[in-house]
Amino acid sequence: IGNVSNYRSKNPKICEVQFSSTNRYQLSIHSTNDQDERYLLVMKGAPEKILKNCSTIYVDGCEIEFNKYWKKRYEEAFTELSNHGERVLAFADYRLPLNKYPRGYEFDCDTINFHVNPYFEYFNFPTNGLRFLGLISLIDPPRVNVGEAVKKCRSAGIRLLMITGDHPLTAAAIARYTGIITDHSTTELLF
């Protein structure tokens, strides 16, 4: 790909829906510097949010149906990564049909507070029928002294709560790692 700044300048962002803790994804639409005149919609975020918008998957250079087999493979990979305390992001894309979204189309990504607006119905572009591209995982390890702090709190009789925006499997793995959850803990996961 080369220099990221050069790549971005050749594929300018036309509009963006920024990530928030409510929508749990980020979406942008780009004009591209390739032979395909169609706009490119790209989406990344919480796997459960991205997956429900995908109908195909990109495997070995081919776009195929995102069927039960591939969804099971995805679920296995996601569960394994999450159970190790890794934060998982999913990625998808979609080439917008040129006949519906010609060059110069006015995309409306600025719908005010769409994620909390009870009257919001939809964007003026599709967010489903996407092509699932894959997962990445990130490790954001707890601070070195967290385990010791947890022990001190427990010995002082303090009940511990962990509040996070992570997926419950990731949160549980991190809580086990830091000692917030032990074999003798009473654990409640609230969503």
Q: What is the Cα–Cα distance from 62 to 132, expressed in whole angstroms?
A: 12
In a 13 Å sphere around the CA of 56, the CA atoms on its Cβ side amount to: 12
Q: Tell me the domains of the chain and their CATH numbers.
A: 4-138 (3.40.1110.10), 142-191 (no CATH)
For 120, the token pair is 């919001």
What letter does residue 188 receive in the DSSP assignment?
-
Q: What pLDDT is attached to residue 187?
A: 61
What is residue 24's three-state secondary structure? coil
- Top mean-pLDDT range of 133-137, 141-145, 182-186: 133-137
CA 85 vs. chain centroid, Å, equals: 16
Are 41 and 27 a contacting pair, CB within 8 Å? yes
Q: What is the Cα–Cα distance from 119 to 140, expressed in whole angstroms?
A: 37
Q: What is the Cα–Cα distance from 179 to 153, expressed in whole angstroms?
A: 11
User: Is pLDDT at 184 greater than 70 in this prediction?
Assistant: no
Q: What pLDDT is attached to residue 70?
A: 96
CA 170 vs. chain centroid, Å, equals: 14
Which helix (H) or strand (E) segment holds residue 40: the answer is: strand 40-45
For 71-132, the DSSP string reads: HHHHHHHHHHHHHTT-EEEEEEEEEPPTTTS-TT-------TTTTT-TT----SS--SSEEE
Confidence class of residue 173 from pLDDT cuts 50, 70 and 90?
confident
pTM as predicted: 0.76
